[in-house]
């Protein structure tokens, strides 16, 4: 679908994990994994081992994640798909340090975040991770530009001006920078939210249904921008989506079912993803 397979990474920091660990068992050690575009430098941006997340207790226990091993390759675009309730958002939130796991370990870059105190975790999220959610979470009293730079302003950091301009232009926000969210369309608000997530050039961008509230043109532009952020700027993107066409912009699709990674697809096409998703239909709840 998108011509994006050449990856240039000129911005890789030193000192990160240098090899992918052995992965005993589980979907991530299948033949498909060998076909996956393993990063030449072997770096992982985020890693989960034995991730288990349960809610409730006794007979009412819900297992949202069931012993998941996962590596998110640095400088790649990973999509996460699966039926409703399969654990996609939970996986993303646990990898991003927005939620805690019941068992297991999570690393972001070289830092194990499981067990980190609130303060250290907040700092790591602020410095290393950008979030794009379906709900835009913009502050209504601030202009688009102020919303975009707010996280950096709070952190007392100055955006790289050139990068910020690139983000603003690519997301076609230049003539909207002085507008407040109520004066923007849904698509424009989502683009502001995306610009905010990318403004600090975070190592890792997590996007939860980022195109869910967008018309198809705005959605396509957002996906192309995320693709560019990966190909041209070496960023790492993890996107939860229900849309096979959106997933086709990624390098690798991870398929979840019942809290486990049950399959993965490198270099996905929308058609192949749709076909794979159809195999979940009998157990689908929505």
Residue 85 or 202: which CB sits closer to ligand ATP? 85
How many angstroms separate the Cα of 231 from the Cα of each of 113, 143, 237?
Answer: 27, 30, 11
Window of 8-16, 77-85, 130-138, 246-254 that interacts with ligand ATP by CB under 6 A: 77-85
Measured from the CB of residue 64, what is the shortest distance to ligand ATP in angstroms? 3
Window of 40-48, 82-90, 111-119, 154-162 that interacts with ligand ATP by CB under 6 A: 82-90
Q: How far apart are CA 109 and CA 113, in angstroms?
A: 10
Question: b/e map of 17-54 (b: 16 or more CB within 10 Å)?
Answer: beebeeeeebbbebeebeebeebeeebbbbbbbebbbe
Q: How far apart are CA 103 and CA 85, in angstroms?
A: 19
Residue 248 or 254: which CB sits closer to ligand ATP? 254
Provide the CA 157 distance to its chain's centre, in angstroms: 23
Q: Which of 39, 48, 75, 87 binds ligand ATP (CB under 6 A)?
A: 87
User: For the chain, how many helices (H) and strands (E)?
Assistant: 9, 10
Q: Angle CA(270)–CA(262)–CA(279) in degrees, nearest 5? A: 50
Assess 62 for contact with ligand ATP (CB under 6 A).
Answer: yes
Residue 90 or 200: which CB sits closer to ligand ATP? 90
Q: How far apart are CA 33 and CA 193, in angstroms?
A: 33
Instruction: Give me the half-sphere count of Cα atoms (radius 13 Å) on the Cβ side of residue 284.
Output: 12
Assess 64 for contact with ligand ATP (CB under 6 A).
Answer: yes
Q: How far apart are CA 113 and CA 126, in angstroms?
A: 13
Assess 82 for contact with ligand ATP (CB under 6 A).
Answer: yes
Q: Which of 39, 48, 75, 85 binds ligand ATP (CB under 6 A)?
A: 85
Q: Which of 9, 43, 90, 131 binds ligand ATP (CB under 6 A)?
A: 90
Q: Which of 43, 88, 191, 260 binds ligand ATP (CB under 6 A)?
A: 88
Assess 89 for contact with ligand ATP (CB under 6 A).
Answer: yes
Measured from the CB of residue 80, what is the shortest distance to ligand ATP in angstroms? 8
Total of residues contacting ligand ATP (CB under 6 A): 11
Assess 241 for contact with ligand ATP (CB under 6 A).
Answer: no
Measured from the CB of residue 89, what is the shortest distance to ligand ATP in angstroms? 3
Diameter over CA atoms, the chain: 55
Binding site for ligand ATP (CB under 6 A): 55, 62, 64, 82, 84-90
């Amino acid at each position: 679908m998108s011509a994006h397979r050449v990856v240039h990474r000129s911005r890789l920091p030193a000192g990160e994990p240098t090899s992918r660990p052995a992965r005993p068992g589980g979907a991530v050690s299948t033949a498909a994994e060998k076909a996956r575009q393993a990063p030449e430098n072997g770096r992982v941006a985020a890693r989960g081992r034995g991730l288990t997340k349960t809610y409730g207790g006794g007979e009412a226990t819900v297992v949202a994640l069931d012993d998941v091993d996962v590596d998110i390759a640095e400088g790649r675009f990973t999509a996460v798909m699966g039926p409703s309730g399969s654990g996609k958002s939970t996986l993303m939130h646990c990898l991003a340090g927005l939620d805690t796991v019941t068992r297991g370990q999570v690393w972001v870059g070289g830092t194990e975040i499981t067990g980190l105190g609130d303060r250290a975790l907040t700092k790591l999220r602020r410095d290393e991770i950008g979030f794009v959610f379906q709900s835009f979470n913009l502050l209504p009293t601030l202009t688009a530009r102020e919303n975009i730079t707010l996280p950096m302003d709070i952190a007392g950091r100055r955006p790289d001006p050139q990068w910020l301009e690139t983000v603003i232009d690519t997301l076609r926000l230049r003539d909207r920078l002085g507008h407040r969210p109520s004066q923007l369309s849904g698509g424009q608000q989502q683009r502001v939210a995306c610009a905010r997530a990318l403004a600090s050039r975070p190592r890792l961008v997590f996007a939860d249904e980022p195109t869910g509230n967008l018309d198809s043109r705005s959605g396509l532009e957002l996906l192309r921008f995320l693709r560019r952020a990966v190909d041209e700027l070496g960023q790492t993107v993890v996107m939860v989506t229900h849309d096979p066409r959106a997933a086709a912009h990624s390098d690798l699709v991870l398929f979840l079912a019942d809290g486990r990674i049950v399959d993965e697809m490198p270099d996905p096409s929308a058609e192949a993803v749709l076909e794979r998703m159809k195999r979940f239909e009998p157990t689908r709840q929505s």
